Each structure stands twice: as structure tokens, then as C-alpha cells.
Structure 1
């Protein structure tokens, strides 16, 4: 099971980094989403979640689960949703102004010289 979770984290992270390095804006937005999914799964895996255990310390319970990783992942989901919305708006604005979603550094520098 650990190999499956580690492989999923690695695949999500590798896919996210690959898409972040693309020359278009839409794959960058999707790549950021994959990267945040990989980080969230990593935080859950590092939290060592236990089944049927209360999230608070109780004398009657044999063990308890740490609520901090769950709170961190919930916060990360909210922040990543906000960042994704911001990136979509910026990408849409760039597309509407330039007419293309390609990132071409050479063409922008040539246009500034003339």
C-alpha cells in the first residue's frame, strides 16, 4: 500500500512539474492543480491517519489521530482553489489581450525593440 501511495505522489508531482514547464498557459494551470494534489496526498500520508480513533485525547480511547494534517490539507485546498482562480483569470486576460496563450519570450523582446 505504501508503494502505491508513494507512486501516486510521484506521478502527480512529476505530471505537475512537466505541465508547469509547458509553453502554454492552460497546461500551467492544470500542472499547478496536479502539483497541489500531490502535496495534499503527501500531507495525508505523512499524517499517519488511523481508523476509528477520535481526533482528541480521551482517557477512554486507546489511541487518537492527529487532526493537524487534516487541517493543513483543508487549508491547502482552499488556498489552491484561490490560486487556481487567480491563474485562470490572468491566463484569460493574457489570451484576450494577445490573441494567443503561447508564451514566446523572443517575440515579445523583438516587438519591444521596434
Structure 2
């Protein structure tokens, strides 16, 4: 189970870094989103994956789920959604202002044709 979680986190991180290194704004935006998913998955897994364990103290139960990683991930999801919406609007504005969606603003062969 731990190996599967580690492979999933590694795949999300690798895909996010790969897309961050692209020259267009939309793949960069997707790369940031994948990286935020990888970090959320990592934080969630750090809280130990337990099945059918209550997150609060109950008589007769000796194993508990840690609610802190769940709260952190929920907060991170909300923040990353807002940042993604802001970056998407910024990318659209940049495309309209510069005439290209290349991250450094330089026109490419695809833009001129």
C-alpha cells in the first residue's frame, strides 16, 4: 500500500514538473495544479492511512485517524482552487495583452502562421 501511494505521489510530481517546464501558459497552469495535487496527497498520506478509524475519542476504540492532515488538505484545496482561477485569468489577460501565450512573451513560429 505504501509503495502504491509513493508511486502515485511520484507520478503526480513528475508530471507537474514536466508540465511546469513547458513554454506555454496552459501547460504551466496544469503543472502547478498537478503539483498541488501531489502535495495534498503527500500531506494526506503523512497522517497515516487508516480504515474505519474514528477521528475523535470514542470509548473502546484504541486507534484513531488524525484529523489535522484532513483539515490541512481541505484548506489547501480551497486555496489552490482560488490560485488556479487567478492564474487562469492572468494567463488569459497576458495572452490578450501580448498576443502570444508563450511564458516569456516571445513569438514563436506557430504564432506567425
TM-score of the pair, normalised by structure 1: 0.86
| Aligned residues between the structures | 107
Partner of 2:49: 49
Cα distance, 1:58 vs structure 2? 2.6
Whole-angstrom distance in 2 between the partners of 1:59 and 1:82: 40
Whole-angstrom distance in 1 between the partners of 2:75 and 2:6: 22
Partner of 1:7: 7
1:40 counterpart SS class = helix
Cα distance, 1:33 vs structure 2? 0.6
Cα distance, 1:60 vs structure 2? 2.5
2:101 counterpart SS class = coil
Cα distance, 1:103 vs structure 2? 2.5
Structure 2, unpaired ranges of 5+: 108-113
CA contact (8 A) 1:25 1:101 kept: yes
Within 5 A, what are the aligned runs for 1:1-114?
1-104=1-104, 107=106
Cα distance, 1:18 vs structure 2? 1.4
CA contact (8 A) 1:9 1:41 kept: yes
1:53-73 deviation line (CA, Å, top 9, x unaligned)? 211123332221110010011
TM-score of the pair, normalised by structure 2: 0.87
Cα distance, 1:31 vs structure 2? 0.3
Structure 1, unpaired ranges of 5+: 109-114
